[in-house]
């Protein structure tokens, strides 16, 4: 039986606000586009209500709830992009690992990878439509429900970041178990990183086929690697993801979409990342926008990077900090964002003050004729 239109990745509504996509491509925009990492999250009372009493990964498997959670921040704030509600840990799950979300603690793997022998437990080849089709269905539904208001961003965790969770079994301050693998078992670490890369490429292409209009790759745990380990265990895979996704989209006759890489605390790798096929480099708040602009000499669009904790400041001070940030980055080839995700105890009104200030200080008067 033919599925109704809103469940199919075709006949999507025309995009009205394309400022985010234009900025990714370094084209002129009428204002600096803005979105927030973790904009769908626990800081919103309506999010807590929707999520209440449901298992986190069950939520991720329900396209209707993912769609609702994705749209919630857009009803409150004039954001210029939406990011699909999901999690980076759906990939380890697809590879056969059991993960659940413990309230107040975060993700917990029931059997993390302890030694290289455990690699045998992972599936070596997966069909992403079969294993992760629920994410694709959420993307398709959300793209329709957005009614062309703003573009929809799809995302993934990067191989190294996913490897840390699979070995640590959850969050960690030191990543010492995962780093032990890099020193004791470099070859098998590469095998794992390659396996993840292969799945990620299919997963991202599947997201675009489902309706994602841009893609962000989160290398959230770049910071625990030094420059040497980053260039051996993270960079080659990040680069390969961007170039393989782009060539696969081309060979499958799909339109190219902008790709963003966000390597948190990976300041030492900024120039190398700028030589990759990503269109946008995301900056965390420890980096100085002017210096990065100078280093990269306009090669890439930039995204970031207000310290998320700056949202604890008064609204007046948030405005001042945003004004300064816009001056430092310049308005072209720039997407305003935080330097990492929003925290659950943040005041939605202060998030609104951040978004409004970006628009206030970056709107250019449109000339008549
Ligand atoms: O019950 C809950 O609501 C749990 C909180 C939560 C939420 C809202 C988790 C658990 N994940 C998410 C959604 C999520 N995760 C999104 C939604 C879209 C949006 O941004 O609005 C995204 C993009 C992610 C990506 C994600 N998950 C990252 C990369 C971004 C980052 O913050 O660096 C990481 C590292 C995760 C793992 C994860 N999922 C959840 C938690 C608490 C964590 C971190 C665990 C840890 O390392 O301690």
Give the residue from 86, 184, 188, 181 showing the smallest Cα distance to 137: 86
Q: What is the pLDDT of residues 12-45, one digit of tens each?
A: 999 999 999 999 999 999 999 999 999 999 999 9
Residue 367 has pLDDT above 70, yes or no: no
Domain containing residue 77: CATH number: 3.20.20.210
In short, whether 218's Cβ falls inside 6 Å of ligand 1 is yes
| CA 71/CA 84 separation, integer angstroms | 9
Q: What is the pLDDT of residues 98-111, one digit of tens each?
A: 999 998 889 999 99
Q: Which residue out of 341, 343, 344 has the highest number of ligand 1 atoms within 8 Å of its CB and is therefore the one to mutate?
A: 341
In short, whether 38's Cβ falls inside 6 Å of ligand 1 is yes
Residue 1 has pLDDT above 80, yes or no: no
Confirm if 191 and 225 have CB atoms less than 8 A apart: no
Q: Which residue out of 35, 38, 212 has the highest number of ligand 1 atoms within 8 Å of its CB and is therefore the one to mutate?
A: 38
Measure 241 CA to ligand 1 centroid, in angstroms.
21
Task: Please tell me the number of Cα atoms within 13 Å of 218 on its side-chain side.
Answer: 21
Give the residue from 31, 33, 44 showing the smallest Cα distance to 349: 44
In short, whether 85's Cβ falls inside 6 Å of ligand 1 is yes
pTM (2 decimals)?
A: 0.96
Burial of 305 (0-12, 13-18, 19+ CB in 10 A): buried
What is the count of structural domains for the chain? Answer: 1
Cis-peptide into 43, omega within 30 deg? no
pLDDT at 368: 39
Q: What is the pLDDT of residues 148-165, one digit of tens each?
A: 999 999 999 999 999 999
**Strands 82-83, 152-157: pairing kind:** parallel
- Please state at what angle helix 63-76 crosses helix 348-362, rounded to 10 degrees: 60
Burial of 15 (0-12, 13-18, 19+ CB in 10 A): middle
Range of the domain at 210: 5-368
| CA 73/CA 363 separation, integer angstroms | 21
Q: Whose CA is nearest to atom 36 of ligand 1?
A: 88
Structure-derived torsion over alpha carbons of residues 139, 164, 98, 245, reported in degrees to the nearest 10: 30
């Amino acid at each position: 039986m033919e599925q109704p239109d809103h469940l199919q990745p075709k006949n999507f509504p025309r995009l009205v606000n394309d400022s985010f996509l234009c900025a990714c491509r370094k084209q002129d925009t009428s204002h600096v586009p803005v979105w927030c990492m973790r904009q769908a999250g626990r800081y919103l009372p309506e999010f807590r209500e929707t999520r209440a009493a449901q298992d986190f990964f069950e939520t991720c498997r329900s396209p209707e709830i993912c769609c609702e959670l994705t749209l919630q921040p857009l009803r409150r704030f004039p954001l210029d992009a939406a990011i699909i509600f999901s999690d980076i840990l759906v990939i380890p799950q697809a590879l056969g690992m059991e993960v659940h979300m413990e309230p107040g603690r975060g993700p917990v793997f029931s059997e993390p990878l302890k030694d290289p022998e455990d690699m045998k437990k992972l599936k070596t080849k997966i069909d992403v439509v079969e294993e992760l089709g629920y994410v694709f269905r959420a993307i398709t539904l959300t793209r329709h429900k957005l009614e062309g208001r703003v573009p929809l961003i799809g995302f993934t965790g990067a191989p190294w970041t996913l490897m840390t969770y699979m070995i640590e079994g959850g969050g960690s301050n030191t990543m010492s178990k995962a780093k032990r693998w890099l020193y004791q078992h470099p070859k098998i670490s590469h095998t794992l990183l390659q396996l993840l890369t292969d799945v990620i490429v299919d997963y991202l292409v599947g997201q675009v086929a489902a309706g994602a209009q841009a893609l962000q790759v989160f290398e959230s745990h770049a910071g625990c690697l030094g420059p040497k380990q980053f260039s051996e265990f993270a960079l080659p895979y990040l680069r390969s993801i961007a170039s393989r996704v782009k060539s696969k989209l081309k060979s499958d006759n799909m339109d190219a979409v902008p790709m963003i890489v966000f390597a948190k605390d990976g300041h030492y790798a900024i120039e190398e990342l700028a030589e990759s096929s990503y269109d946008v480099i995301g900056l965390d708040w420890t980096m100085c926008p002017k210096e990065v602009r100078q280093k990269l000499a306009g090669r890439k669009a930039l995204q970031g990077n207000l310290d998320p904790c700056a949202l604890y400041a008064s609204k007046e001070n948030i405005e001042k900090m945003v004004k300064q940030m816009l001056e430092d980055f310049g308005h072209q080839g720039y997407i305003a964002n935080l330097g990492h995700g929003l925290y659950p105890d943040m005041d939605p009104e202060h998030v609104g003050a951040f978004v409004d200030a970006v628009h206030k200080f970056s709107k250019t008067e449109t000339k008549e004729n």
